[in-house]
Homo-oligomer: A and B are copies of this chain.
Amino acid sequence: MMKCSVIKVPARSPNDMSALQRYIDESLINPKEVVAVLGKTEGNGCVNDFTRGFAVLALKNLFAPYKEGSAEPVSFVMSGGTEGILSPHFSVITRSESDSIRSKQELSSLAIGVARTPDFMPEELGRLAQVDQVAEAVLRAMEGAGINDAADVHFVQIKCPLLTAEQVQEAVLRDASTVTEDTYKSMGYSRGASALGAAVALGEIERDRLQDMDICHSWELFSHVASTSAGSELAYCEVIVFGNSAYAEGPYFIDHDVMKDAIDAGALKRILQKYPDAEMVQVLAKAEADPTGNIRGKRHTMLDDSDINHTRHARAVVGGVLASVCGDPMIYVSGGAEHQGPAGGGPVAVVFRRNEHK
Protein backbone atom coordinates (compact mmCIF):
# COMPACT_ATOMS: atom_id res chain seq x y z
CA MET A 1 0.00 0.00 0.00
CA MET A 2 1.01 3.59 -0.67
CA LYS A 3 0.65 6.35 1.90
CA CYS A 4 0.75 10.00 0.83
CA SER A 5 0.58 13.27 2.72
CA VAL A 6 0.54 17.00 2.01
CA ILE A 7 2.10 19.30 4.60
CA LYS A 8 2.16 23.09 4.29
CA VAL A 9 5.26 24.99 5.38
CA PRO A 10 5.55 28.80 5.43
CA ALA A 11 8.45 30.64 3.78
CA ARG A 12 9.67 34.12 4.65
CA SER A 13 11.49 34.43 1.33
CA PRO A 14 11.95 32.14 -1.68
CA ASN A 15 15.04 30.60 -0.13
CA ASP A 16 13.79 30.47 3.45
CA MET A 17 14.18 26.85 4.46
CA SER A 18 14.01 27.46 8.21
CA ALA A 19 10.46 26.22 8.73
CA LEU A 20 10.97 23.24 6.45
CA GLN A 21 14.20 22.35 8.23
CA ARG A 22 12.39 22.54 11.56
CA TYR A 23 9.66 20.19 10.32
CA ILE A 24 12.38 17.75 9.27
CA ASP A 25 14.30 18.11 12.53
CA GLU A 26 11.10 17.49 14.49
CA SER A 27 10.31 14.42 12.36
CA LEU A 28 7.08 15.91 11.08
CA ILE A 29 8.46 15.42 7.58
CA ASN A 30 10.67 12.52 6.55
CA PRO A 31 12.88 13.98 3.81
CA LYS A 32 13.47 10.57 2.30
CA GLU A 33 9.74 10.23 1.63
CA VAL A 34 9.38 13.61 -0.09
CA VAL A 35 8.46 13.15 -3.74
CA ALA A 36 7.43 16.69 -4.62
CA VAL A 37 7.32 20.23 -3.34
CA LEU A 38 4.71 22.63 -4.70
CA GLY A 39 5.61 26.20 -3.86
CA LYS A 40 4.12 29.65 -4.11
CA THR A 41 6.97 32.14 -4.38
CA GLU A 42 6.74 35.91 -4.26
CA GLY A 43 7.90 36.88 -7.75
CA ASN A 44 5.88 38.32 -10.63
CA GLY A 45 4.96 34.86 -11.86
CA CYS A 46 5.94 35.93 -15.36
CA VAL A 47 8.99 35.59 -17.60
CA ASN A 48 11.64 37.20 -15.41
CA ASP A 49 10.50 35.65 -12.15
CA PHE A 50 13.65 34.23 -10.62
CA THR A 51 12.06 33.50 -7.25
CA ARG A 52 11.02 30.12 -8.63
CA GLY A 53 14.56 29.12 -9.52
CA PHE A 54 15.87 30.59 -6.28
CA ALA A 55 13.50 28.44 -4.23
CA VAL A 56 14.42 25.36 -6.25
CA LEU A 57 18.14 25.95 -5.70
CA ALA A 58 17.62 26.36 -1.95
CA LEU A 59 15.40 23.26 -1.83
CA LYS A 60 17.97 21.23 -3.77
CA ASN A 61 20.69 22.33 -1.35
CA LEU A 62 18.45 21.29 1.55
CA PHE A 63 17.45 17.86 0.22
CA ALA A 64 20.83 16.92 -1.28
CA PRO A 65 22.26 15.24 1.85
CA TYR A 66 19.02 13.36 2.53
CA LYS A 67 18.54 12.16 -1.01
CA GLU A 68 22.08 11.02 -1.69
CA GLY A 69 22.05 7.79 -3.64
CA SER A 70 18.31 8.03 -4.18
CA ALA A 71 17.08 6.98 -7.58
CA GLU A 72 14.03 9.19 -7.45
CA PRO A 73 14.63 12.92 -7.40
CA VAL A 74 12.21 15.33 -5.77
CA SER A 75 9.91 17.19 -8.17
CA PHE A 76 10.03 20.90 -7.46
CA VAL A 77 7.10 22.81 -8.89
CA MET A 78 7.24 26.49 -8.07
CA SER A 79 4.45 28.84 -9.05
CA GLY A 80 5.41 32.50 -8.90
CA GLY A 81 3.09 35.25 -7.77
CA THR A 82 1.55 35.84 -4.35
CA GLU A 83 -0.46 38.90 -5.29
CA GLY A 84 -2.94 40.25 -2.80
CA ILE A 85 -3.32 38.17 0.35
CA LEU A 86 -1.62 35.03 -0.92
CA SER A 87 1.05 33.84 1.49
CA PRO A 88 4.33 32.31 0.24
CA HIS A 89 4.74 28.69 1.28
CA PHE A 90 5.71 25.19 0.24
CA SER A 91 3.37 22.20 0.05
CA VAL A 92 5.56 19.21 0.82
CA ILE A 93 4.26 15.98 -0.65
CA THR A 94 5.44 12.67 0.73
CA ARG A 95 4.86 9.12 -0.34
CA SER A 96 5.85 5.92 1.37
CA GLU A 97 5.23 2.26 0.60
CA SER A 98 4.30 -0.35 3.15
CA ASP A 99 3.91 -4.13 3.02
CA SER A 100 0.44 -3.92 4.46
CA ILE A 101 -2.06 -5.77 2.36
CA ARG A 102 -5.14 -3.98 1.24
CA SER A 103 -7.90 -4.58 3.76
CA LYS A 104 -11.49 -4.31 2.70
CA GLN A 105 -11.40 -0.64 3.58
CA GLU A 106 -14.28 1.52 2.53
CA LEU A 107 -12.38 4.62 1.62
CA SER A 108 -9.60 5.16 -0.84
CA SER A 109 -6.87 7.65 0.09
CA LEU A 110 -4.68 10.27 -1.49
CA ALA A 111 -2.34 8.82 -4.09
CA ILE A 112 0.33 10.76 -5.92
CA GLY A 113 2.28 9.96 -9.05
CA VAL A 114 5.10 11.89 -10.67
CA ALA A 115 6.52 11.82 -14.19
CA ARG A 116 8.37 14.06 -16.56
CA THR A 117 8.66 14.55 -20.29
CA PRO A 118 11.90 14.82 -22.28
CA ASP A 119 13.29 18.32 -22.90
CA PHE A 120 11.49 20.33 -25.55
CA MET A 121 12.95 22.24 -28.46
CA PRO A 122 11.81 25.90 -28.54
CA GLU A 123 9.71 25.22 -31.63
CA GLU A 124 7.85 22.32 -29.95
CA LEU A 125 6.49 24.46 -27.14
CA GLY A 126 2.82 25.36 -27.35
CA ARG A 127 2.18 22.81 -30.09
CA LEU A 128 0.90 19.25 -30.45
CA ALA A 129 4.37 17.88 -29.75
CA GLN A 130 4.02 19.22 -26.22
CA VAL A 131 0.42 17.97 -25.91
CA ASP A 132 1.46 14.44 -26.78
CA GLN A 133 4.48 14.27 -24.52
CA VAL A 134 2.45 15.61 -21.61
CA ALA A 135 -0.42 13.16 -22.24
CA GLU A 136 2.05 10.32 -22.14
CA ALA A 137 3.60 11.59 -18.92
CA VAL A 138 0.20 11.98 -17.24
CA LEU A 139 -0.60 8.33 -17.98
CA ARG A 140 2.72 7.27 -16.50
CA ALA A 141 2.09 9.39 -13.40
CA MET A 142 -1.38 7.83 -12.98
CA GLU A 143 0.14 4.39 -13.19
CA GLY A 144 2.71 5.36 -10.58
CA ALA A 145 -0.12 6.55 -8.34
CA GLY A 146 -2.05 3.33 -8.73
CA ILE A 147 -4.99 5.13 -10.31
CA ASN A 148 -6.75 3.38 -13.16
CA ASP A 149 -9.89 5.45 -13.51
CA ALA A 150 -9.59 9.03 -14.77
CA ALA A 151 -12.53 9.90 -12.50
CA ASP A 152 -10.25 9.33 -9.51
CA VAL A 153 -7.83 12.02 -10.69
CA HIS A 154 -8.64 15.34 -8.99
CA PHE A 155 -5.64 17.54 -9.77
CA VAL A 156 -2.86 17.35 -12.32
CA GLN A 157 -0.13 19.82 -11.62
CA ILE A 158 2.21 20.44 -14.52
CA LYS A 159 5.24 22.67 -14.51
CA CYS A 160 6.21 23.59 -18.04
CA PRO A 161 8.90 25.69 -19.78
CA LEU A 162 8.57 29.04 -21.48
CA LEU A 163 10.46 30.76 -24.29
CA THR A 164 13.06 33.37 -23.45
CA ALA A 165 14.23 35.99 -25.92
CA GLU A 166 17.47 34.03 -26.24
CA GLN A 167 15.71 30.81 -27.17
CA VAL A 168 13.49 32.54 -29.71
CA GLN A 169 16.61 34.02 -31.28
CA GLU A 170 18.38 30.68 -31.25
CA ALA A 171 15.44 29.06 -33.04
CA VAL A 172 15.36 31.85 -35.59
CA LEU A 173 19.02 31.20 -36.37
CA ARG A 174 18.15 27.56 -37.08
CA ASP A 175 15.24 28.69 -39.29
CA ALA A 176 12.88 27.08 -36.81
CA SER A 177 9.73 29.02 -36.06
CA THR A 178 8.43 29.25 -32.51
CA VAL A 179 4.72 29.51 -31.77
CA THR A 180 5.28 33.13 -30.67
CA GLU A 181 8.21 35.52 -30.34
CA ASP A 182 6.68 37.15 -27.30
CA THR A 183 8.21 35.62 -24.19
CA TYR A 184 5.32 36.48 -21.90
CA LYS A 185 2.84 35.06 -24.39
CA SER A 186 4.85 31.85 -24.69
CA MET A 187 3.92 31.11 -21.08
CA GLY A 188 0.27 30.93 -22.09
CA TYR A 189 0.93 28.62 -25.04
CA SER A 190 3.02 26.29 -22.90
CA ARG A 191 0.38 26.20 -20.15
CA GLY A 192 -2.35 25.66 -22.72
CA ALA A 193 -0.62 22.79 -24.52
CA SER A 194 0.18 21.12 -21.18
CA ALA A 195 -3.44 21.35 -20.04
CA LEU A 196 -4.67 19.87 -23.31
CA GLY A 197 -2.15 17.06 -22.81
CA ALA A 198 -3.76 16.26 -19.47
CA ALA A 199 -7.23 16.50 -21.00
CA VAL A 200 -6.22 14.00 -23.71
CA ALA A 201 -4.77 11.59 -21.14
CA LEU A 202 -7.91 11.77 -18.99
CA GLY A 203 -10.28 11.33 -21.93
CA GLU A 204 -11.76 14.80 -21.52
CA ILE A 205 -11.08 15.62 -25.14
CA GLU A 206 -10.28 13.54 -28.22
CA ARG A 207 -6.75 13.70 -29.51
CA ASP A 208 -7.82 13.00 -33.08
CA ARG A 209 -9.73 16.22 -33.36
CA LEU A 210 -6.99 18.40 -31.92
CA GLN A 211 -4.88 20.67 -34.11
CA ASP A 212 -2.02 23.07 -33.40
CA MET A 213 -4.31 26.02 -33.91
CA ASP A 214 -6.73 24.89 -31.19
CA ILE A 215 -4.09 25.65 -28.58
CA CYS A 216 -4.98 28.95 -26.92
CA HIS A 217 -7.88 29.47 -29.29
CA SER A 218 -10.53 26.78 -28.90
CA TRP A 219 -11.43 27.59 -25.32
CA GLU A 220 -14.30 25.11 -25.27
CA LEU A 221 -11.64 22.37 -25.04
CA PHE A 222 -10.39 22.08 -21.49
CA SER A 223 -9.48 19.85 -18.60
CA HIS A 224 -11.44 20.03 -15.35
CA VAL A 225 -8.42 19.12 -13.22
CA ALA A 226 -5.28 20.36 -14.99
CA SER A 227 -3.22 23.10 -13.39
CA THR A 228 -0.17 24.20 -15.33
CA SER A 229 2.45 26.83 -14.60
CA ALA A 230 5.28 27.98 -16.82
CA GLY A 231 8.76 28.92 -15.72
CA SER A 232 12.18 29.51 -17.19
CA GLU A 233 13.92 27.12 -14.82
CA LEU A 234 13.21 23.92 -16.75
CA ALA A 235 13.12 22.71 -20.38
CA TYR A 236 10.79 19.74 -19.88
CA CYS A 237 7.38 19.24 -18.25
CA GLU A 238 7.07 17.95 -14.74
CA VAL A 239 3.76 16.21 -14.02
CA ILE A 240 2.26 15.47 -10.61
CA VAL A 241 -1.03 13.59 -10.52
CA PHE A 242 -3.17 13.90 -7.39
CA GLY A 243 -6.05 11.47 -6.93
CA ASN A 244 -7.61 8.90 -4.66
CA SER A 245 -6.71 5.25 -4.94
CA ALA A 246 -7.84 2.02 -3.33
CA TYR A 247 -4.15 1.13 -3.22
CA ALA A 248 -3.44 4.04 -0.94
CA GLU A 249 -4.06 4.30 2.79
CA GLY A 250 -3.90 7.06 5.37
CA PRO A 251 -6.05 10.01 6.37
CA TYR A 252 -5.49 12.23 3.31
CA PHE A 253 -7.87 12.45 0.36
CA ILE A 254 -8.69 14.94 -2.38
CA ASP A 255 -11.73 16.25 -4.27
CA HIS A 256 -12.31 18.96 -6.84
CA ASP A 257 -14.82 21.25 -8.50
CA VAL A 258 -14.66 23.92 -11.22
CA MET A 259 -14.93 27.69 -10.81
CA LYS A 260 -16.97 29.11 -13.66
CA ASP A 261 -15.34 32.52 -13.30
CA ALA A 262 -12.88 34.35 -11.03
CA ILE A 263 -15.52 35.28 -8.44
CA ASP A 264 -17.28 31.92 -8.30
CA ALA A 265 -16.95 31.31 -4.57
CA GLY A 266 -19.57 28.57 -4.82
CA ALA A 267 -17.17 25.97 -6.22
CA LEU A 268 -15.00 25.88 -3.10
CA LYS A 269 -18.04 26.11 -0.82
CA ARG A 270 -19.52 23.02 -2.44
CA ILE A 271 -16.39 20.98 -1.85
CA LEU A 272 -16.04 22.07 1.77
CA GLN A 273 -19.70 21.30 2.49
CA LYS A 274 -19.27 17.72 1.27
CA TYR A 275 -16.80 16.92 4.04
CA PRO A 276 -17.90 18.76 7.16
CA ASP A 277 -15.91 16.48 9.44
CA ALA A 278 -12.61 16.56 7.59
CA GLU A 279 -9.85 19.07 8.10
CA MET A 280 -9.02 21.21 5.07
CA VAL A 281 -5.28 20.86 4.42
CA GLN A 282 -4.70 22.72 1.18
CA VAL A 283 -6.60 24.42 -1.63
CA LEU A 284 -5.16 24.17 -5.15
CA ALA A 285 -6.62 26.42 -7.82
CA LYS A 286 -6.04 28.20 -11.10
CA ALA A 287 -6.85 31.78 -11.94
CA GLU A 288 -7.18 33.75 -15.15
CA ALA A 289 -8.52 36.98 -16.54
CA ASP A 290 -11.62 36.24 -18.57
CA PRO A 291 -10.39 36.34 -22.21
CA THR A 292 -13.63 38.01 -23.38
CA GLY A 293 -12.71 41.15 -21.44
CA ASN A 294 -15.94 40.83 -19.46
CA ILE A 295 -16.97 39.16 -16.26
CA ARG A 296 -20.67 38.75 -15.40
CA GLY A 297 -21.39 41.11 -18.27
CA LYS A 298 -19.20 43.93 -16.96
CA ARG A 299 -15.95 45.07 -18.60
CA HIS A 300 -12.74 44.31 -16.72
CA THR A 301 -9.43 46.02 -17.46
CA MET A 302 -6.96 43.23 -16.83
CA LEU A 303 -6.15 42.47 -20.46
CA ASP A 304 -5.46 46.11 -21.39
CA ASP A 305 -3.17 46.78 -18.44
CA SER A 306 0.39 47.39 -19.61
CA ASP A 307 1.70 47.96 -16.08
CA ILE A 308 0.55 44.73 -14.43
CA ASN A 309 0.18 41.51 -16.36
CA HIS A 310 -3.30 39.98 -16.28
CA THR A 311 -2.16 36.80 -14.58
CA ARG A 312 -1.12 38.92 -11.60
CA HIS A 313 -4.53 40.56 -11.37
CA ALA A 314 -6.25 37.19 -11.67
CA ARG A 315 -4.23 35.56 -8.89
CA ALA A 316 -5.00 38.46 -6.56
CA VAL A 317 -8.73 38.09 -7.19
CA VAL A 318 -9.02 34.31 -7.00
CA GLY A 319 -6.68 34.15 -4.01
CA GLY A 320 -8.86 36.66 -2.18
CA VAL A 321 -12.12 34.96 -3.10
CA LEU A 322 -10.95 31.48 -2.07
CA ALA A 323 -9.34 32.73 1.15
CA SER A 324 -12.59 34.51 2.02
CA VAL A 325 -14.30 31.10 1.82
CA CYS A 326 -11.73 28.88 3.52
CA GLY A 327 -10.23 31.49 5.86
CA ASP A 328 -6.64 30.65 4.97
CA PRO A 329 -4.41 32.85 2.77
CA MET A 330 -1.71 30.14 2.55
CA ILE A 331 -3.22 28.42 -0.47
CA TYR A 332 -1.92 27.47 -3.90
CA VAL A 333 -3.40 29.74 -6.56
CA SER A 334 -1.57 29.75 -9.83
CA GLY A 335 -2.18 32.08 -12.76
CA GLY A 336 -2.94 31.50 -16.40
CA ALA A 337 -5.71 28.92 -16.76
CA GLU A 338 -5.58 28.34 -20.52
CA HIS A 339 -7.61 25.16 -21.22
CA GLN A 340 -7.79 24.61 -17.45
CA GLY A 341 -11.46 24.88 -16.67
CA PRO A 342 -13.80 27.02 -18.76
CA ALA A 343 -12.58 30.36 -20.19
CA GLY A 344 -12.27 32.81 -17.33
CA GLY A 345 -12.69 30.09 -14.70
CA GLY A 346 -10.53 27.24 -13.50
CA PRO A 347 -10.29 24.06 -11.47
CA VAL A 348 -10.15 24.11 -7.68
CA ALA A 349 -9.16 21.09 -5.61
CA VAL A 350 -8.99 20.53 -1.87
CA VAL A 351 -6.76 18.12 -0.01
CA PHE A 352 -8.44 16.98 3.22
CA ARG A 353 -7.31 15.05 6.24
CA ARG A 354 -9.86 12.70 7.80
CA ASN A 355 -10.42 13.21 11.45
CA GLU A 356 -9.54 9.63 12.24
CA HIS A 357 -10.93 9.21 15.69
CA LYS A 358 -14.37 10.48 15.00
Given contacts A10-B298, A84-B313, A317-B319, 18 further A-B contacts (CB under 8 A): A13-B50, A14-B54, A15-B57, A42-B48, A48-B301, A50-B54, A53-B54, A54-B57, A82-B301, A84-B300, A84-B314, A87-B299, A88-B299, A166-B299, A263-B320, A295-B329, A296-B329, A298-B329
Which residues of B lie under 8 Å from residue A183 when comparing CB positions? 303-304
Binary contact readout A63-89 vs B (1 if CB under 8 angstroms, 0 otherwise): 000000000000000000011111110
Judge whether A318 is part of the interface by a CB distance below 8 angstroms: yes
Which residues of B lie under 8 Å from residue A10 when comparing CB positions? 298-299
CB-nearest residue of chain B to A163: B304
Which residues of B lie under 8 Å from residue A304 when comparing CB positions? 42, 47-48, 164-165, 183
Judge whether A117 is part of the interface by a CB distance below 8 angstroms: no
Binary contact readout A85-96 vs B (1 if CB under 8 angstroms, 0 otherwise): 111100000000
Which residues of B lie under 8 Å from residue A293 when comparing CB positions? 165-166, 168-169
Residues 164-205 of A at the B interface (beta carbon under 8 Å): 164-166, 168-169, 182-185
Binary contact readout A252-265 vs B (1 if CB under 8 angstroms, 0 otherwise): 00000000001111
How many residues from A make CB contacts under 8 Å with B? 72
Which residues of B lie under 8 Å from residue A15 when comparing CB positions? 50, 53-54, 57
Judge whether A30 is part of the interface by a CB distance below 8 angstroms: no
Which residues of B lie under 8 Å from residue A50 when comparing CB positions? 13-15, 42-43, 50-51, 54
Which residues of B lie under 8 Å from residue A86 when comparing CB positions? 300-301
Q: Is there contact, CB below 8 Å, between A48 and B305? A: yes
Judge whether A58 is part of the interface by a CB distance below 8 angstroms: yes
- Which A-B residue pairs are the 5 nearest by beta carbons? A46-B306, A317-B320, A316-B316, A87-B298, A165-B293
Which residues of B lie under 8 Å from residue A316 when comparing CB positions? 83-84, 313, 316-317, 320
Which residues of B lie under 8 Å from residue A306 when comparing CB positions? 44, 46-49, 184, 309
Which residues of B lie under 8 Å from residue A262 when comparing CB positions? 84-85, 320
17 residue pairs of the A-B complex, CB under 8 angstroms, read A10-B298, A12-B299, A14-B54, A15-B53, A42-B48, A42-B50, A61-B61, A82-B301, A84-B320, A88-B301, A165-B304, A263-B320, A263-B329, A265-B265, A265-B325, A298-B329, A321-B324
In the assembled complex, the CB of A53 is this many whole angstroms from the nearest CB of chain B, namely 6
Binary contact readout A312-343 vs B (1 if CB under 8 angstroms, 0 otherwise): 11101111110111011110000000000000
Separation of A50 and B300 alpha carbons in the complex (Å) = 16
Judge whether A307 is part of the interface by a CB distance below 8 angstroms: yes
Which residues of B lie under 8 Å from residue A232 when comparing CB positions? 13
Separation of A307 and B298 alpha carbons in the complex (Å) = 26
CB-nearest residue of chain B to A187: B306
Which residues of B lie under 8 Å from residue A302 when comparing CB positions? 84-85
Judge whether A24 is part of the interface by a CB distance below 8 angstroms: no
Which residues of B lie under 8 Å from residue A234 when comparing CB positions? none
Judge whether A218 is part of the interface by a CB distance below 8 angstroms: no
Q: Is there contact, CB below 8 Å, between A292 and B85? A: no
Which residues of B lie under 8 Å from residue A53 when comparing CB positions? 13-15, 54
Separation of A190 and B263 alpha carbons in the complex (Å) = 32
Separation of A188 and B191 alpha carbons in the complex (Å) = 25
In the assembled complex, the CB of A55 is this many whole angstroms from the nearest CB of chain B, namely 9
